[in-house]
Amino acid sequence: MPASAFVTIVPAVSRVEIRPFEADDLTSCGALLATRHHQHRLAQPLLSPRFEATEAAIAELTAVFETGASGAVALRAGAPVGFLLGAPKTSPLWGPNIWVEAAGQAVTDAEVMRDLYGIAATRWVDEGRTAHYVVVPAHDEELVRAWFRLGFGQQQAHAIRPAEKLATASLAGGLSVRRANRDDIPMLARLDLELPLHHGLSPTFSAGRLGTIEESLADWADDIDDPDYATFVAERDGQVIGSAIGCALEKSSTHLGPARPENAGFLGYAAVFPHARGAGAGRALGTAVIDWAVDSGFDSVVTDWRVTNLLSSRTWPRLGFTETFLRLHRTIGY
């Protein structure tokens, strides 16, 4: 679509023009992003205050734009009232995709987002990008509803909690949690496969790649002593039944831009063998990672989960995690 193209819509207040996003829009739209993030932090103060500064928001939006992103901007009386910006990811895991990450949208009126998507998605689909992902601030119910009315559904939840130790709870008989060691590598390798196996089942039906035991054994042989990662195992009657991993959030490729709080720990992985689920091992492993984050001096702990994963979507909120962003998804053509 040529840069000069635009569509005029007439909402109840006044005329809004929608046109493709251009480099000249970065400064004014960065100011919209800073305002959005300020409002988000009123609901989630553990998020980074950095992106409330217009300069930082502009820099983040510019970095997104320079990845080859495209989108749309909404103007009322010549002033921007909203923008949408998305870029593809190269991983085949996501299909022929476009991603609107945490810095990729802001509006003064949630309904305008539907018109922004109408223009932006025209180009995306023309390019063959039919798997659309968008990361939306969880506190903005009207914006989330606008995306739902565009045919999107929730796929993932991003969440945070303060780095505060939980009240000590008694573990079920025979259950304990400890740091992993080299003797645990065979069981850790098996547990690496449990989360993708679980995600492949109903009701998640994820198409993620399932690795092999041999690959996991080699990875653990190299990484078990890495001080940047804290690996825990849960045991029942002396047998390893689950594992979890904690690290600094900076080690993760997710929770980007405004979704990345300062000085945060990350509950990056947890899995329990099917036969051992329901006895509290997942909760005990999550608690161990939270306690490690507190002892390591982090200010908060971040995690995420597929909302169709019935286990994690119930366990992690019970440990005090509250949603910061929702990842929504739509597949075009079905």
Q: How far is CA 315 from CA 72, 127, 242, 287, 322, in A?
A: 38, 40, 14, 11, 12
Please check whether residue 2 lies inside any domain of the structure: no
Pair (96, 198) in one structural domain = no
Pair (167, 212) in one structural domain = yes
CATH number of the domain bearing residue 95: 3.40.630.30
Phi-psi label, residue 333: left if phi above 0, alpha if psi -120 to 50, beta otherwise: left
pLDDT in the model for residue 320: 97
Print pLDDT tens along the chain (334 aa).
Answer: 444 445 544 444 468 999 999 999 999 999 999 999 999 999 999 999 999 999 999 999 999 999 999 999 999 999 999 999 999 999 888 999 999 999 999 999 999 999 999 999 999 999 999 999 999 999 999 999 999 999 999 999 999 999 999 977 678 778 999 999 999 999 999 999 999 999 989 999 987 778 899 999 999 999 999 999 999 999 999 999 999 999 999 999 889 999 999 999 999 999 999 999 999 999 999 999 999 999 999 999 999 999 999 999 999 999 999 999 999 999 998 7
pLDDT in the model for residue 10: 40
Domain endpoint, select from 97, 121, 151: 151
Whose tokens are 């390893």? That residue is 240
Report how far residue 132's alpha carbon sits from residue 232's, in angstroms, rounded to the nearest whole number: 35
pLDDT in the model for residue 334: 77
Please check whether residue 227 lies inside any domain of the structure: yes
Please check whether residue 115 lies inside any domain of the structure: yes
Report how far residue 171's alpha carbon sits from residue 221's, in angstroms, rounded to the nearest whole number: 30
Pair (125, 250) in one structural domain = no
Pair (95, 171) in one structural domain = no
pLDDT in the model for residue 8: 45
Please check whether residue 58 lies inside any domain of the structure: yes
Domain count for the chain, please give it: 2
Please check whether residue 329 lies inside any domain of the structure: no
**CB–CB of 179/231 below 8 Å?**
yes
Please check whether residue 327 lies inside any domain of the structure: no
Please check whether residue 331 lies inside any domain of the structure: no
Q: Please tell me the pTM assigned to this model.
A: 0.92
**CB–CB of 23/65 below 8 Å?**
yes
Pair (189, 143) in one structural domain = no
Pair (132, 249) in one structural domain = no
Cis peptide, bond prior to residue 203, ω within 30 of zero: yes
Radius of gyration of the chain (CA): 22
pLDDT in the model for residue 211: 87
CA 121 to chain CA centroid, Å, is 21
Pair (212, 313) in one structural domain = yes
pLDDT in the model for residue 173: 78
The residue range of the domain holding 108 is: 7-151
pLDDT in the model for residue 92: 83
pLDDT in the model for residue 264: 98
Return all residues near 70 (Cβ < 8 A) that are at least 6 apart. Answer: 20, 21, 85, 86, 87, 120, 123, 124
Of the candidates 96, 174, 135, the one whose C-alpha atom is nearest the C-alpha of residue 304 is 135
Question: What phi and psi, each to the nearest 5 degrees, are found at residue 182?
Answer: -60, -30
Domain endpoint, select from 123, 151, 179: 151
Pair (208, 145) in one structural domain = no
**Which residue blocks in the chain are alpha helix, DSSP H?**
26-43, 54-65, 112-126, 141-148, 185-192, 194-199, 213-223, 281-295, 312-318
